[in-house]
Amino acid sequence: MAIMITDECINCGACEPECPNTAIYEGGVEWSWADGTNLKEVELDDGNVVDATEPQEPYSDEFYYIVTGKCTECTGFHEEPQCAAVCPVDCCVDDPDVRESEEELLAKKAWMHDE
Ligand code: SF4
Ligand code: SF4
């Protein structure tokens, strides 16, 4: 599973610098595939290809958020999700809608950082 941030978030910002994939952003801030990765172009599920540096719409305007496509649960970097480890209100939780195996998470990490 990827990790998601719930609306319990108090916007303290502690999680953001801990993410090895730069998958965490402040509410209202645009994100990109290229931030913190080696990605140049990304093919989306609908087949469209986007420039990885292109700014994307925030997932949330109110709370810190995690870009699901960039979250690897810290696999390959750390033993446990670092955002969940530092969050003072325990609002970084498993996303029940996004289930990925260890192999898939390692492949995702390699895709983002080894290209
Ligand atoms: S679990 Fe790890 S990779 Fe995913 S958002 Fe949290 S710090 Fe980033
Ligand atoms: S550490 Fe927790 S409370 Fe703080 S910004 Fe991140 S998700 Fe929100």
CA distances (Å), 114 to each of 37, 47, 78, 110, in order? Answer: 9, 22, 17, 5
pTM across the whole model: 0.95
Ligand 2 near 6 CB (within 6 A): no
| Ligand 1 mean position, distance from CA 51 (Å) | 23
Q: What is the pLDDT of residue 45?
A: 86
| Residue having the nearest C-alpha atom to atom 4 of ligand 2 | 12
pLDDT of 81 higher than 80: yes
Residues 18-72: pLDDT tens digits?
A: 999 999 999 999 999 999 999 999 998 899 999 999 999 999 999 999 999 999 9
Structural domain boundaries of the chain?
Answer: 3-113
Pick 3-113's CATH classification: 3.40.630.10, 3.40.30.10, 2.40.160.40, 3.30.70.20.
Answer: 3.30.70.20
Residues 54 and 32: beta-carbon distance below 8 Å: yes
| Mean pLDDT score across all residues of the chain | 96
